[in-house]
Structure 1
């Protein structure tokens, strides 16, 4: 298995599957959400040199996982500009540290974009994977009827 990290912009054929993954995982939190609306939203992420963008993990022609760098994910925090989100790994590939690799690629790329601070939200109130990768919990809140930990990481070269 040779996992390659690339951009959704280079592989738009994966939008339908990625939209289905995202809808199945998080669609219940989006009012009037549908697979089609998720597909439409993913069109905004077809960038390689500016936010928002999606980094994919692919194994040949198989979509393995994804991570997003995006703007202002949580409306209750308008001052928190850049967010990491949408970390998802194909169930067939879980347990192989791909999510960690996706996060680390996103951090590295954010630095290249001159982003020095990223935020994220996770339902793992102890920080889970992100705590292991050096992210720090800022607070816990109930957002859209879900308890989440809001985390941050200062990015340095």
Structure 2
């Protein structure tokens, strides 16, 4: 398994957009699968934010993670955000998710980013084990979500 920047494999955008749309469209009801793909295409720029990393197994995408300036509409100017964290179900519990997160954290540190936010409707305990702290629990698009922060 290897983790690469999306810039190295832009042909993966469509499959990632499909995964992300299937997984999170309820949290972004105004967005289409094409909007998800456009967000990923923004990660092809030569900038620290936004960026996306992909886990590949034998050249096939099995997971992804992004660093975005904004990931949810809230009043606070918080950011950047860990987003698009997804591992195909048959590859979960094998450490791929942890490696994706570690890659994103290292990218943040290398680019002098002080800390990252994320929000999740589930899996709070997973992120707490990785050093994230809840800063707020709120209703978002009809779901209760935890907004979490991790200093780098």
Q: TM-score range by the shorter chain?
A: over 0.9
| 1:46 counterpart SS class | coil
1:111-133 deviation line (CA, Å, top 9, x unaligned): 001101111101127x2211110
Unaligned runs of 5+ in 1: none
In the alignment, which of 103, 108, 120 is matched to residue 110 of structure 1?
108
Unaligned runs of 5+ in 2: none
Change in 2 beyond 3 A, CA 1:57/1:49: same
RMSD (Å), alpha carbons: 1.5
Is the 1:70–1:82 Cα contact (8 Å) retained in structure 2? Answer: yes
Q: TM-score, normalised by structure 2?
A: 0.92
Give the total of aligned pairs: 152
Q: Which residue of 1 aligns with 2:49?
A: 51
Aligned partners of 2:15, 2:86: CA distance in 1, in Å?
Answer: 12
Is the 1:100–1:129 Cα contact (8 Å) retained in structure 2? Answer: no
Q: Pairwise mapping of residues 87-126 of structure 1 onto structure 2 (< 5 A)?
A: 87-124=85-122
Structure 1 runs (4+) greater than 4 angstroms displaced: none
Aligned partners of 1:21, 1:118: CA distance in 2, in Å?
Answer: 23
Aligned-pair distance for 1:48? 5.3
Change in 2 beyond 3 A, CA 1:72/1:37: closer
Is the 2:27–2:140 Cα contact (8 Å) retained in structure 1? Answer: no
1:84-122 deviation line (CA, Å, top 9, x unaligned): 111100122111021111111101110001101111101
Q: Which moved more, 1:30-39 or 1:93-102?
A: 30-39
Q: Which residue of 1 aligns with 2:84?
A: 86
Aligned partners of 2:128, 2:136: CA distance in 1, in Å?
Answer: 13
Q: Which moved more, 1:59-68 or 1:43-52?
A: 43-52
Q: Which residue of 1 aligns with 2:59?
A: 61
Q: Which moved more, 1:23-32 or 1:136-145?
A: 23-32
Q: Which residue of 1 aligns with 2:137?
A: 140
